[in-house]
Structure 1
């Protein structure tokens, strides 16, 4: 049913038919759970954190934990983004991102660092060797 709203200056007419061109652009909705939505929001953040670690921009994963809690209000009871990622598991994160990158595009493409850690079964927060001559050990 078409409706018209009239005020003193403007007459608004709402179309009650669909634009066939726009209908062709709209994709079918996908069915996802609340857990999948949470993962689709946070896993790319973890992926980017892995890139930052791999490039040597930060010294330790714990730096990213502090930054995520203080900078993006990540829940402190979860320990930070990288601590939480280790609880979830690097393999699960990698496989999810890989599946989504095939389905939805390169935004979800897993980083090399994440892939290496997942294949070796290593936690993401274990200290890495920096690209420079400095060596980071796990006791830092």
Structure 2
């Protein structure tokens, strides 16, 4: 029987405590600017958790420079992220991967669902989010 998530659990849904999951990646980046996700799925999960926690510096740092926006808008007041489901993680080669995910949120009493197939690239040993497509 699974237990309901707590505030100490990582928002990415791994079931691990935040500090032993995405929090470790966020803390390392905050400490010395390094990015150390082991693969595209780990990076995608850490980016979702960064959205949940409002860590815009981490989001921008993990966005590939070729597609990175100049700035990120703050979330709408009252936005609540509800969960992440990773549907597929495919590695095309050593430097390219995709992650198909669904992120759920709630704003103003209305539920929202974001589904994306995200593209990632690894350069100099570091994974970056490039862009994504909305399936269907």
Higher Rg: 1
Tell me the TM-score normalised to structure 2 length.
0.28
Greater share of helix: 1
